[in-house]
Amino acid sequence: MGSRQRQARSRQPSLKIVQALEFAGVQGIVAEDVTVTYRNGHTALRHASFAIPTGTITALVGVNGAGKSTLFKAIMGFVPVAGGRISVLGMSVHDALARNLIAYVPQAEEVDWNFPVLVEDVVMMGRYGHMNFLRIPSKNDRRLVDEALARVGMGDYRKRQIGELSGGQRKRVFLARALAQEGQVILLDEPFTGVDVTTEEQIITLMRDLRAEGRVMLVSTHNLGSVPDFCDRTIFVKGTVLAAGTTADTFTEDNLKAAFGGALRHFVLSGSDLHDDADRREVKVITDDERPFVIYGTPTTTAAAPPAPAQKPADVLERVDDDRPA
């Protein structure tokens, strides 16, 4: 390669920057009146609507069987929508998948950990959509795999069998696969289940970095206590979208009760159990058996406000720029 060619290549922006610029100002994921019915006739999701801007992290919250997995499958094109439509980065799901823009980090239960495969090979799977039918990795594919493993701190484990790793290490490997794929929309299914606090913090730090790059993350989680700490937006699901919007406005006790009903555990400490004076403030702990959501303050004496309504995509489209983190 001549010196002019090398100089031209050095001046070219990275693919990550090019993609971030391409999708700047475009909605990340938009669902409009989406209904999903399986072949057996069961309707798992009805008339669901929401909009997620780019450069955000959104929590998907609800009990098991509420439709979270169905929503993921619809976004990934695994199940057709019976009504409504889903768009990803301003294009159809089909077109977004064709461009390898949607990446998925699965639950541990979905993976056969006894299958003999090396860590680096799992991460290389993220490049398959960019290869020809022979799936022979190029130098660029290997470079991206190296960078992804280094970014999640798993470079030293590349020659290990995936089944030999701890739960937290496995999660990081599948995050590396999503990074190697260069997905701009990343769906994470229960990323904190079975991991320690240190790994959880590492995953959250990585997601914040990806948010700063303009990517879209939709995180299915029962880890209620972490949602206000790192999620810009929250979607509550129970057969439909009960509420969707900024976490500050939407992640409320009323919406938690509407989404979980009797599945939540409530603990309240107040009075002499908490204070040695007449302080009326109380500690309320709400948990779905993972990290709890803790509320501290004076109990309300007025009737609770109704749950926040689900936002229509048009409502969010009008103020996409206002919702992005600084």
Give the domain CATH number at 140.
Answer: 3.40.50.300
CA angle 157, 163, 164 (to 5 degrees): 55
Q: What is the mean pLDDT of the chain?
A: 81
Does residue 311 register a pLDDT over 70? no
CB atoms within 10 A of CB 26: 18
pLDDT at 7: 46
Does residue 13 register a pLDDT over 60? no
Does residue 295 register a pLDDT over 80? no
Assess if residue 314 is contained within a domain. no
CA distance 273 to 269: 6
Assess if residue 293 is contained within a domain. no
CA angle 246, 251, 252 (to 5 degrees): 135
pLDDT at 30: 96
Domain with 226 in it: 3-248
Does residue 115 register a pLDDT over 70? yes
Between residues 273 and 72, which one has the greater pLDDT? 72
Assess if residue 300 is contained within a domain. no
Assess if residue 117 is contained within a domain. yes
CA distance 18 to 13: 7
79 CB contacts (<8 Å, ≥6 apart)? 36, 38, 70, 73
Query: Can you give the pTM of this predicted structure?
Result: 0.77
The secondary element (H helix, E strand) that includes residue 232 is none
Domain count, the chain: 1
pLDDT at 131: 84
Assess if residue 61 is contained within a domain. yes
Assess if residue 125 is contained within a domain. yes
Helix, strand and coil in the chain, % to nearest 5:
40, 25, 35
pLDDT at 27: 82
Assess if residue 172 is contained within a domain. yes
Which residue type is seen at 295?
A: I
Assess if residue 177 is contained within a domain. yes
* pLDDT tens, residue by residue, 125-162: 999 988 878 888 999 999 999 999 999 999 999 999 99
pLDDT at 299: 61
CA distance 120 to 114: 16
Helices (H) and strands (E) in the chain, counts: 13, 13
Q: Which of these ranges, 182-186, 202-206, 302-306, has the smallest mean pLDDT?
A: 302-306
Question: Do 259 and 62 meet the contact criterion of CB atoms below 8 Å apart?
Answer: yes
Does residue 266 register a pLDDT over 60? no
Spell 209-244 as b/e; 16+ CB within 10 A means b: ebbeebbbbbbbbbbbebbeebbbbbbbbbbbbbbb
Query: Could you tell me how many residues make up the chain?
Result: 326
45 CB contacts (<8 Å, ≥6 apart)? 34, 35, 36, 67, 70, 71, 74, 237, 239, 240
